[in-house]
Structure formats: C-alpha cells, structure tokens
Structure 1
Amino acid sequence: MSVYQLNQTYIKVANINLYCEYLLNDKPPILLIHGFASSTYTFRRIIPLLQREFSIIAVDLPGFGKSEKSTSFIYSFQNYAKLMLECIDKFGFPNTYVVAHSMGGQIALNMALIAPEKLNKIVLLCSSGYLKRAKKLLIYSSYLPFFEKFVHYYIRRKDVKDHLRNVFFNQTLINDELIHEFGRPLSEKGFYKALIRLLRHREGDLLPQQLQDIQVPTLLIWGEDDRVVPVNVGRQLVRDLPDAKLITYEKTGHLITEERPELVFKNILMHTIHQI
C-alpha cells in the first residue's frame, strides 16, 4: 500500500480550530467526513489509495478527534454542513466530491441541500438515516448537574474492544492500534461535553421529502452485516434519493473503510472520476 503522505495542520473555520489532513495537487478535490465518535483515522486505509487520484481534505469534526471541543458551537447537522462548506471555500475549491461515513452521511446530505452547486457527487459509507431527534425528556435531563457523569458511565460501560466488535464483521482485524486510537477520546473531558451538546442540538435525520429534493448524484456503499446502521437503511435511502445507487459487500460490518479499503476505493473512483 502507498505511503500516507498528507499534510497535518490546524485550520480556523468559523472561529473553530479544526484538525485537518490535506494533500493539494492538480487532481480533483475530495472531502472526507467521518462519523460519530470518530476522526480522520477512519479513512487511514483508503487515503493512500485516494491520494493517487485526488486532492484530499480530511477534517476532524468539532467535538471529535483532535479538533476543538467547543462549548459555543451549535452541534447540529446543518451547522456541521455549513462548516464543511466553509472548509471547501477555505481551500479555494469551487466544488468537490464528498465521501462520508456513518453520521457524516447526514452532514453530506445537508451540504447537498444547502449548496448542491458545490458538490460534484456524494459517496455515503454506511450512512445514518431516519433517526429522530432525541426525546425532549432526555434533552431536558442533559442540563442537570449529574448528566455528564451519566454520559461518561454510559459510554465507558463497555470497553473499547467491545465497541469495536460491534463495528467489525471480521473480528481478527481488531488490534492494539485500533483500540488505542478509538479509545483516545474517552479520556478527554471535553469529549463528553461535546457529546451532550450534540444530543441537545442534533436535529432528526433528513425526512423522505427532504431527501427527495437532493439532486446531487449519490453512491451508497454498505456492509451487509452492519450492526450499527443496517443495510435496510441504505435500501430506503436509495428509494428516497432521486439519483442514487446502492452497492453492498458481503461479510462486511459498519467500519467498511477498515474491512474493504481497496473495494471502497474502486467504487469511489467509478462513481467520481470514472463515473458509473
């Protein structure tokens, strides 16, 4: 596999410090958006492949990874989408391809609603979909003094390896490096404060009638053994999105970029530069 060659830096966008990995060349730009409680690390196995064909921007979302755990940012999908659109502008790209995993899929879809002219095509990897907003009682409870301790307990009730078992079909791929990287946020106090703000601010996933307004061509890639976001969500999304195609992989779980990097890369390439 190719050497991972991206530049690593912090950029300030909308007054938020964002950790960013990027590679700028004369190739078409692609933006990578990770999912819930994750980071740019999600894409570590496909970045060496993508860098042959694309200029790459990969950003840790506010509240996650190495980015700022802001206590002023409104953690809604719409705000995340606007922030990612500003990132594209900051790098001087008039438009871009977008690859988004899990919760990042809702951010990408919101981007497509807000500014379709800035997106060439979207690739959704095991995207979240059709989740409703948190119940009002839970949102109100989040303002109670003990709630942060409750969130800490809820997240830490299982160890990192248990969480990873849930996102992998092939359990043999779970190693010490993965356990360390995915466990890193759990020791940061700011992470739990950001999660609470996400709970309060996150609107429900886009409704079918909103999805039907999205005209940006979309490829959905799914693991048939995804236990986090079942493939039926992908089947429903492909029915609601006007210009969409679904590809599924057998014996593959939710963390599809770890289990099938070469196949994911091939399908991204076919949907973007080579088209399908």
Structure 2
Amino acid sequence: MEQVIADARNAVSAGRESGTLEGWQQGGKWFSYEGHAIFSRMAGQGEPLVLIHGFPTASWDWSRVWPMLTPQYSVLALDMLGFGFSDKPVPYPYSIEDQADLMQGWVAGLGLPAIHLIAHDYGCSVVQELLAREQEGVLPFDIASVCFLNGALFPEVHNPLLIQKLLRSPLGGLISRGLTRRTFERNFRRLFGSQNPPDQQDMEDFWQLLTYNNGRGILHHLIQFMEERRCHRNRWVGALQKATQPMRLISGTADPVSGAAMARRYRELIANPDVVSLRNTGHYPHFECPWDVFSAYRDFRKRIGSGNPEY
C-alpha cells in the first residue's frame, strides 16, 4: 500500500511539473458529434472511468488527478460541446439533455458495456440525466458507480455568483461578449478555497480555454442549464433517490456556490448517504487538492470491490 501511495504522489507531482495546457491538447483526439468537433482524452488501463467536467471550464480540470487515476483505470474525458477545445457553435440549442446525448453516443460508440463516472458541477446534472435514462431502460450501457464533486444536485440550495445571475438575465449576451479577463479572474477566484488557490499560470490556462473559439460569446447560452435544473428538478433528484449503484459525494466545503449546504441536502434526501467533506477546499477539489480527491475515490472503489453491504 505504501508503494501505491508513493507512486500516486510521484505521478501527480510529475504531472504538475511537466503537464501544460498545450500538452493536454496535443495528447487528445477529436471526433464528430452532429457535425461538430469534440475534443477527448483517453489513457490508462483497467475498468472504464469517465470524467465529466463543469461550467465554464473543460476536461483540463482533471489534469492534476489524471496521472493518479490512469495507472488503475482506463480513464476517458472530453470537452462537452461549447467548452474547452471542442466546437462552440452559434446559434445552437445548448442543453444538459443534449450533452447527455453526446456522452451517451460517445460511450456507446466506444463499445463499453459498463462505466464508472466522476462528475463535477455541470457534469453532475449530465450524470443525473444519464441515471434517469438508465432507470428508464434506454441507456445502452450500465453505470457501475458514480462519484459527484461539488455540483448543484439540488437547485433549491444552489447559490450562484452575481455574475452567473447576470449571465442568465436579459443582459446576458452583453455580459458574455464584454467579459474581461480581470472580471473573470476576480469572480473565478472566489470559487476556490484558501488552501490551494490558482496561481497566475492556472488563470491563464482557464482564460485560454474559456476564450478558445470565441467561447465568451456563448456563455449566456450555456448557463441556461440553471433553469434546466429547476425545470427537471423532480426527474433529476428522483434519479439520485432511485439509483441502485454505489454513489459518493466528495464536497469541498469552502465552495460558496454548491458546498456545505449542498452536502447537507444530500444527506437529507439520499438514503444511506456517502459524503466525504474536504475542509478549506472550494468548488474545484480535483484541481485544488487532487491527492485528497484521489484518496477518497480510491477508498470508494475499494469498498465497492470488497462487497461492502452499505453499497
């Protein structure tokens, strides 16, 4: 066990020192969805583990935990339509359901009979839709387990930032197109805990991903997922409550948007809730403290493999 831990720590250390956003892009591949180019990454060996990113970022969010996961799992991630290095078409009817169609088609096209999932933020809603489809018997593969990271699983306790509210408003188009790097950085930094805030290079990378392919111009379209969560609240919360597969929530409690209050609501509404709280950690636990997230996920998978009756 000590060697496994040492190898994992060495892997993430090496990844942070040598991994760059340019290298992340060069290591990926593109495929077509509805005529649009979608960026994806695949590496590792073992059971398939699909990582689904949040808003307004991309698969790069997983770069720090990636080198710890790939020695044990076959890890797959993509930039959803409108995000990161994928196409950002205008006009386009962006929706959680469409992103679920994208994920479903990708996994089915790879011929995977079953997958494990880790999802963050926006990606959590995509997973909730996939769970609902599985329960309806229309998903062409099985979801073996789910791990959630700081997502608005319950819209009634979601606490969006002011800029998110403005992007949803009738002024959203002007706010989106006029977004400056200074405004973005000021608001984005608020999402992080005090322990491991992003440095200047991190902010450069996040900004580059946001603005790639004129990404600023569609933020007000993408953020309508907040209304989708409200409209589909019963379907998506019901999917969590009816789920039979193992689930774990890893919560950065310093997250002002979907942190401690979301974890409390999870404990209230989900039977036998499995929650791991990370103190002084914000909205991006997998970027802020990748070792802690990996440890919590490794423990989760170990319990599944042991046949723990709690699962």
TM-score bucket (shorter structure): 0.7 to 0.9
Q: How far does residue 110 in structure 1 lie from its aligned partner after superposition?
A: 1.2
Residue 295 (structure 2) aligned to one of 255, 266, 272: 266
Specify whether residues 165 and 56 from structure 1 end up closer, same or farther in structure 2 by C-alpha distance, changes over 3 A only. same
Which residue number corresponds to residue 229 of structure 2? 204
More displaced, 105-114 or 14-23?
14-23
Aligned residues: 267
Specify whether residues 54 and 274 from structure 1 end up closer, same or farther in structure 2 by C-alpha distance, changes over 3 A only. farther
Task: Name stretches of at least 5 consecutive residues in structure 2 with no aligned partner.
Answer: 1-9, 136-140, 161-166
Report percent identity of matched pairs. Answer: 20
Please say if residues 217 and 243 of structure 1, whose CA atoms lie closer than 8 Å, have aligned partners that are also in contact: no
Task: Name stretches of at least 5 consecutive residues in structure 1 with no aligned partner.
Answer: none
Map 1:188-203 to 2 at 5 A.
Answer: 188=212, 190-200=214-224, 203=228
Which residue number corresponds to residue 12 of structure 1? 32
Please say if residues 50 and 75 of structure 2, whose CA atoms lie closer than 8 Å, have aligned partners that are also in contact: yes
More displaced, 221-230 or 198-207?
198-207
Q: How far does residue 139 in structure 1 lie from its aligned partner after superposition?
A: 7.1
Q: Which has the higher helix share?
A: 2
Q: Which amino acid aligns with 1:65?
A: G
Q: Which amino acid aligns with 1:126?
A: N
Looking at structure 1, the residues matched to 184 and 31 of structure 2 have their Cα atoms a distance apart, in angstroms, of 29
Looking at structure 1, the residues matched to 267 and 185 of structure 2 have their Cα atoms a distance apart, in angstroms, of 32
Map 1:1-276 to 2 at 5 A.
Answer: 1-2=10-11, 7-23=27-43, 25=45, 27-71=46-90, 73-115=92-134, 118-131=142-155, 141=170, 148-153=173-178, 155-156=179-180, 158-170=182-194, 173-188=197-212, 190-200=214-224, 203-205=228-230, 206-207=233-234, 208-242=237-271, 244-275=273-304
Specify whether residues 73 and 269 from structure 1 end up closer, same or farther in structure 2 by C-alpha distance, changes over 3 A only. farther
Looking at structure 2, the residues matched to 271 and 188 of structure 1 have their Cα atoms a distance apart, in angstroms, of 35
Q: Which amino acid aligns with 1:212?
A: Q
Q: Which amino acid aligns with 1:13?
A: Y
Looking at structure 1, the residues matched to 254 and 105 of structure 2 have their Cα atoms a distance apart, in angstroms, of 35
Please say if residues 194 and 281 of structure 2, whose CA atoms lie closer than 8 Å, have aligned partners that are also in contact: yes
Please say if residues 225 and 252 of structure 1, whose CA atoms lie closer than 8 Å, have aligned partners that are also in contact: yes
Please say if residues 100 and 129 of structure 2, whose CA atoms lie closer than 8 Å, have aligned partners that are also in contact: yes
Specify whether residues 89 and 139 from structure 1 end up closer, same or farther in structure 2 by C-alpha distance, changes over 3 A only. same
Looking at structure 1, the residues matched to 199 and 169 of structure 2 have their Cα atoms a distance apart, in angstroms, of 39
Looking at structure 1, the residues matched to 155 and 39 of structure 2 have their Cα atoms a distance apart, in angstroms, of 28
Please say if residues 33 and 59 of structure 1, whose CA atoms lie closer than 8 Å, have aligned partners that are also in contact: yes
What SS is found at the alignment partner of 1:272? helix
Cα-to-partner distance string for 1:148-194 (whole Å, 9 max, x where unaligned): 323233x4385343234212213664222211111114544632343
Looking at structure 1, the residues matched to 92 and 134 of structure 2 have their Cα atoms a distance apart, in angstroms, of 21
The runs of at least 4 consecutive aligned structure 1 residues that moved more than 6 Å come to none
Q: How far does residue 230 in structure 1 lie from its aligned partner after superposition?
A: 2.5
Looking at structure 1, the residues matched to 127 and 89 of structure 2 have their Cα atoms a distance apart, in angstroms, of 21
More displaced, 243-252 or 204-213?
204-213
Q: CA RMSD in A?
A: 2.9
Please say if residues 222 and 246 of structure 1, whose CA atoms lie closer than 8 Å, have aligned partners that are also in contact: yes
Specify whether residues 217 and 171 from structure 1 end up closer, same or farther in structure 2 by C-alpha distance, changes over 3 A only. closer
Q: Which amino acid aligns with 1:38?
A: T
Looking at structure 2, the residues matched to 19 and 189 of structure 1 have their Cα atoms a distance apart, in angstroms, of 13
Specify whether residues 88 and 273 from structure 1 end up closer, same or farther in structure 2 by C-alpha distance, changes over 3 A only. farther
The TM-score with structure 2 as length reference comes to: 0.76
Cα-to-partner distance string for 1:58-89 (whole Å, 9 max, x where unaligned): 11011110001023643221221221121111
The TM-score with structure 1 as length reference comes to: 0.84
